[in-house]
Copies of this chain bind each other. A is one copy, B any other.
Amino acid sequence: MEDRGLNRGVLYINVTSHYLPAITIRNERYQCLAGVSAGWIQKRSGIRSRTRACCHENTSTMAVEACKHAFEQIPYSVKDIDLIVGATYTPCDTIVTLAHAVQHFFDVPKARAISISSACSSSINAIEVVEGYFATGKAHKALVIASEHNSTYSDDTDAQCGRLWGDGAGAVFISKEKISEKDVKILDINTTGLGPFGKAMDAIRMRPGNGSLRMPASRDIFSNAIRYMVTEVKTTLKKNHYTTKDIAHLIPHQANLRIMSQVGEALGLHNGEAVTNVEDTGNTGCASTTIALSQSWKKFKKDELIAVTVFGGGYSSGAMLLKK
């Protein structure tokens, strides 16, 4: 059933984990902040509340918290990890990146460490980078951490998008071996850079030195997110000789429930396959699918097919096909 190319080898996700900060802010707060009603927010985005980091937290500390839960479960020593890839577009520190902070906190001396961004697609890009390191034989046990501290760069009073953002982190541990029956096999993974298309340069931006997180053209994002998330899933399924009917669980990027609903419809899914968390966390950026994967991890049954699909500002898209 697989056509993975000569050098790609097989990857397994051994453990997933996530962290959501202690603060949640319900929609009602935005009546006074931005003059929008709770019902209007929910109708437009599906969001009821969003997570918010405490004042002592940041992208790196949330990444560490997400990993703490996981390190209790991984079936090998922390010291065996030889690659750490961080994913974020809301960095606390671009020199002491979140990958380096995690490497330091857990004292993983042997690991290569980098942090990456392709916006909300970053978590899938990060796993694709792991695939590459595994293919060269330079790494065998990898940790990917997606962490977003949207609230530190966004403005709650911004009527365009201030209400949408949540904070949180998710982690996945990947190796070449199936270690337990809980493991999930990565059948395929793909990413696509979409810089030349639509309003990629202007629709959403995150300029740390100039205006932070803004979304001036949400409609362009809306239509392209649906289009490319659907395309990524269909292409990856076809390449691996599956159809949309084989999908047991769909984990789309958690930006907006209406986008996810239209992705599900376009794929012909009607039986609650979609895993969602945006209702309670808001859009946690590239961490959203990793958090959703971790939240639904125990639901997956043997031989079930799980499709993860993402769309990021800038633009980018990606998909990952998993089999329990």
Q: Which residues of A are in contact with B by a Cβ distance under 8 Å?
A: 5-8, 84, 88-97, 99-104, 107-109, 111-119, 122, 125, 128-129, 131-133, 135-138, 152-153, 191-193, 195-197, 200-201, 204-210, 213, 312-316
Cβ-defined partner of A89 (8 Å) among B95, B111, B128, B136: B95
Q: A112-B193, A113-B314 are in contact. List 17 more A-B contacts (CB 8 A).
A: A6-B137, A93-B206, A95-B206, A95-B313, A97-B314, A99-B195, A100-B195, A103-B195, A104-B195, A104-B196, A104-B201, A108-B196, A114-B125, A114-B191, A129-B132, A131-B132, A135-B136
- Known contacts A8-B137, A313-B96: does B119 contact A116 (CB below 8 Å)? no
Q: Which residues of B contact A210 (CB under 8 A)?
A: 92
Is the beta-carbon distance between B205 and A93 smaller than 8 angstroms? yes
User: Are A132 and B125 also in contact (CB < 8 A) when A113-B193, A196-B103, A208-B208 are?
Assistant: no
Q: How far is the CA of A107 from the CA of B197 in the complex (A)?
A: 9
Which chain B positions have C-beta within 8 A of A207? 92-94
With A196-B109, A314-B100 known as contacts, the answer to whether A208 contacts B91 (CB < 8 A) is yes
Check A107 against B316 for contact (C-beta < 8 Å): no
A149–chain B nearest beta-carbon distance, Å? 8
Q: Is the CB of A89 within 8 A of B94?
A: yes
Complex-state Cα separation, A210 to B116, whole angstroms: 20
Docked complex Cα distance between A233 and B42 (Å): 57
List residues of chain B with CB within 8 A of the CB of A131: 132, 136
Between A96, A128, A315, the greatest number of chain B beta carbons within 10 A of the residue's beta carbon is seen for: A96
Contact among B7, B96, B112, B117 for A114, CB-based, below 8 A: B117
Please report the C-alpha to C-alpha distance between residue A94 and residue B122 in the assembled complex, in whole angstroms.
Answer: 11
Residues of B within 8 A of A6 (CB): 7, 137
Interchain CB contact under 8 A, B193 and A84: yes
* Interface residue from B5, B90, B114, B195 paired with A136 (Cβ < 8 Å): B5
Q: Which 6 A-B pairs have the closest CB atoms?
A: A132-B132, A113-B193, A208-B208, A103-B195, A135-B135, A104-B195
| A273 nearest CB across to chain B (Å) | 27
A131 to B102: give the CA distance in the assembly, Å: 24
